[in-house]
Amino acid sequence: MKVNRIIIALISGLLIMGFTIKMQDRKPWPVPDAAKNKKNAVANNTESIAAGKILWGTHCKSCHGTKGLGDGTKAAQLKTEPGDFSKADVQAQTDGALFYKLSEGRDDMPSFKKKIADEEDRWDLVCYIRTLKK
């Protein structure tokens, strides 16, 4: 009887700890005003979206998934939730905020300033992210 109580207490503790860790994953990601207000340097058109989609497939899909739902093949291995880019809170962010986040990175999200060195390519990626709406 005591063993069952101990096991239940341990499982409950692990569940609470797991929930707490997941809640920490959702910490705010502040973006400096200058970055937030930065305008997209490329036109949001079929050409930029197509270029962004290629970059997405190479650099983002493995964590964020094909449709940006946060369900990529590597998502389960991450300490932080990759997020659902189709949600309104992501789509409501400015182009500048998205550009800043993919350029700078944080935690499991790498900085893409070196991997995607051309700023216009990163702006193309922002254009593609805009297509991931529900």
Give the residues across from 109 on adjacent strands: 106
| 72 located within any domain | yes
Domain CATH code at residue 114: 1.10.760.10
| 69 located within any domain | yes
| 92 located within any domain | yes
CA–CA separation, 69 and 56 (whole Å): 13
CA–CA separation, 61 and 74 (whole Å): 9
| 80 located within any domain | yes
Q: What is the pLDDT of residue 21?
A: 46
Q: What is the pLDDT of residue 11?
A: 60
Q: What is the mean pLDDT of each run of 10 residues along the chain (134 residues)?
A: 56 50 66 97 98 98 97 95 95 98 96 97 98 91
Could you please report the per-residue DSSP string of 62-126? HHH-TTSSS--TTGGG-SS----TTSHHHHTS-HHHHHHHHHH-BTTB---TTTT--HHHHHHHH
3-state SS assignment for residue 5:
helix
| 50 located within any domain | yes
pTM of the model: 0.80
Q: What is the pLDDT of residue 23?
A: 42
| 11 located within any domain | no
| 7 located within any domain | no
Q: What is the pLDDT of residue 24?
A: 46
Q: What is the pLDDT of residue 19?
A: 44
Split into its structural domains, the chain has a count of: 1
Domain extent at residue 48? 28-132
| 42 located within any domain | yes
CA angle 113, 116, 117 (to 5 degrees): 65
CA–CA separation, 109 and 115 (whole Å): 12
Q: What is the pLDDT of residue 3?
A: 56
CA–CA separation, 15 and 7 (whole Å): 12
